[in-house]
Chains A and B, each alone.
Chain A
Amino acid sequence: EPEVTQTPSHQVTQMGQEVILRCVPISNHLYFYWYRQILGQKVEFLVSFYNNEISEKSEIFDDQFSVERPDGSNFTLKIRSTKLEDSAMYFCASSGLAGYNEQFFGPGTRLTVL
């Protein structure tokens, strides 16, 4: 069964550094998402992406964040200048056709900002 994959599984970085988190959504899916989960808390929506552009973003997704689909398979989340409070698990998700909302999550990238 196809799955969403993410790399790396764990990223440690210094405050102020840039990080890029990578995701490979399920191949025939059209909608892509990033969520984050601070340890012990709920999953929070960051951004949705469709047709090569952002369709919606949350308040968390400020100017430090950007997303890109650089080719036909990868979907990336960039954090330009990381802060301590960016430490969290970041999940990528994808879903298929419009009107079919089932979202399938990747295994996550644990980001630790020191």
Chain B
Amino acid sequence: GENVEQHPSTLSVQEGDSAVIKCTYSDSASNYFPWYKQELGKRPQLIIDIRSNVGEKKDQRIAVTLNKTAKHFSLHITETQPEDSAVYFCAASPYGGATNKLIFGTGTLLAVQP
């Protein structure tokens, strides 16, 4: 069945360092890959996404890369700040059609140490 694996489950970095979170997906029909940030007790917030016709996308300190052949995608956060501390979820979804469900990874707890 559809599955998204995410690593690492926890990540601790020093403020200013970079953080990388990696995901793999099983459904080759997946064409849309969002990343959500979830602070404790709050809703998942979309921070960046990428579609399969693009290999990389960047938004200020955040970037996402996609390797469709290997079915891998990664989130890169540069110059981390304490406010980046949260749980990050990757997800995958088939593109278009009537169903755009998201299959989530298991999450990465990022702790940025000041």
Contact = CB atoms under 8 A, between A and B. Distances in A.
Contact of A98 (B44, B49, B97, B102): B97
Contact of A42 (B46, B99, B100, B105): B105
Contact of A105 (B43, B95, B98): B43
Given A45-B101, A56-B101, A95-B100, A101 B106 contact: no
A107 B43 contact: yes
Contacts of A41: 106
Contacts of A91: 43-44
A94 B36 CA distance: 15
A105 B44 contact: yes
5 contacts: A43-B91, A51-B98, A56-B98, A98-B96, A106-B43
A102 B96 CA distance: 11
A33 interface: yes
Interface string A12-54: 0000000000000000000101010000011111001011000
Contacts of B97: 98
A99 interface: yes
Nearest to B100: A101
B95 A42 contact: no
A42 B107 contact: yes
A46 to B, nearest CB: 9
Interface in B29-50: 32, 34, 36, 42-46, 49
Interface string B12-39: 0000000000000000000010101000
B43 A42 contact: no
B101 to A, nearest CB: 5
A103 B89 CA distance: 14
